[in-house]
């Protein structure tokens, strides 16, 4: 079993919809959580960074972390066709190692 | 452009050849990371430097792989005797000093194809 599980999709939604992307993890030592967006054949681009549990909002994006359930989410409001990409969750414990453990990514398609 | 840069962007080689990739981190970022990403998967950690010291290596980094960061600035990743299974996107990331995990910024990657 992978340390971080993420539904690969694809997830197809109409323009303007609210998108919910999720990851589960098994390592209770993880305390830093990130979401990256990756366009085809490009490097990952950092979207959101969250420490420990709670919510964080940045424009149309909201990240949620529930450490008790080992579950993180990214919500995208008013989705746009330009949001079509692969979304990767990543996490680390930040104490024994700074390396990021990634999910396999969810491919999102926003239809005009 | 002050982001992470990688060179080359694409590399096609024949099995058994050696290849070397270069990564230039964001200026003043003292941590530098290498990851590998195959199709349909997330990036997998390979190794990490703090300044010129290589502090962590993944078990994925076989003895055919070697990474250096000689002066704490740019880094190189060399793969010797390439195999078809080495075909992947090799990503470099850098981060600034800070407590706990710092935010890692990725370069565009080097796509390696081994024929």
pLDDT, mean of each 10-residue run, chain A (112 residues): 90 97 95 94 92 90 95 97 97 84 96 96
Model confidence pLDDT, tens digit, residues B38-83: 999 999 999 999 999 999 999 888 899 999 999 889 999 999 999 9
Place of tokens 């190794």: B47
Does any CB of chain A come closer than 8 Å to the CB of residue B101? Answer: yes
Q: Is the dihedral of CA B63, B64, B65, B70 positive or negative?
A: positive
Give A36-94 as a DSSP string: EEE-TTS--EEEEEEESSEEEEETTEEEEEETTTTEEEEEESS--GGG-EEEEEEEE-S
**C-beta atoms of B108 and A42 within 8 A:** yes
**For residue B114, what is the DSSP state?**
E
Q: What are phi and psi of B40, to 5 degrees?
A: 80, 5
Mutation test of the interface with chain B: which of A9, A33, A44, choosing the one with the most B Cβ atoms within 10 A?
A: A44
Reading the block at residue A76, the tokens are 């995208």
Report the alpha-carbon distance of residue B45 to residue A105 in Å, rounded.
15
Model confidence pLDDT, tens digit, residues B57-68: 998 888 999 999
Residues 34-93 of A with CB under 8 A from B: 34, 36, 41-46, 49, 51, 88, 90, 92-93
With contact defined as beta carbons under 8 Å apart, do B11 and B112 qualify?
yes
| Polymer length of chain A | 112
With contact defined as beta carbons under 8 Å apart, do B35 and B46 qualify?
yes
B83 CB neighbour count, 10 Å cutoff: 12
A99 CB neighbour count, 10 Å cutoff: 21
CA distances from B20 to B6, B40, B110 (A): 11, 24, 10
Q: Which one is predicted more confidently, B8 or A1?
A: B8
- Identify the pLDDT of residue B96: 83
| Polymer length of chain B | 115
**C-beta atoms of B105 and A99 within 8 A:** no
- In angstroms, the separation between the Cα of residue A88 and the nearest Cα of chain B is 7
Model confidence pLDDT, tens digit, residues B85-97: 999 999 999 998 7
Q: Is the pLDDT of residue B100 over 70?
A: no
Mutation test of the interface with chain A: which of B9, B90, B97, B101, choosing the one with the most A Cβ atoms within 10 A?
A: B101
Q: Is the pLDDT of residue B28 over 60?
A: yes
């Amino acid at each position: 079993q992978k340390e971080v599980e993420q539904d690969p999709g694809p997830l197809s939604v109409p323009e303007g919809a609210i998108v919910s992307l999720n990851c589960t993890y098994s390592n209770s030592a993880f305390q830093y959580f990130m979401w990256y967006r990756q366009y085809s054949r490009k490097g990952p681009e950092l979207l959101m960074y969250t420490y420990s549990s709670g919510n964080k909002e940045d424009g149309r994006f909201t990240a949620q972390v529930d450490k008790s359930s080992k579950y993180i989410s990214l919500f995208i409001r008013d989705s746009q066709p330009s949001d079509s990409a692969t979304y990767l969750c990543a996490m680390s414990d930040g104490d024994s190692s700074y390396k990021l453990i990634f999910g396999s990514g969810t491919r999102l398609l926003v239809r005009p | 452009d002050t982001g992470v840069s990688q060179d080359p962007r694409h590399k096609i080689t024949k099995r058994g050849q050696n290849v070397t990739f270069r990564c230039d981190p964001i200026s003043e970022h003292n941590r530098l990371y290498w990851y590998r990403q195959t199709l349909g998967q997330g990036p997998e950690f390979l190794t990490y430097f703090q300044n010129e010291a290589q502090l962590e290596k993944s078990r994925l980094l076989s003895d055919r792989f070697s990474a250096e960061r000689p002066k704490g600035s740019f880094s190189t990743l060399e793969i010797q005797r390439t195999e078809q299974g080495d075909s992947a996107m090799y990503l470099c990331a850098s981060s600034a000093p800070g407590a706990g995990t710092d935010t890692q910024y990725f370069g565009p990657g080097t796509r390696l194809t081994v024929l």
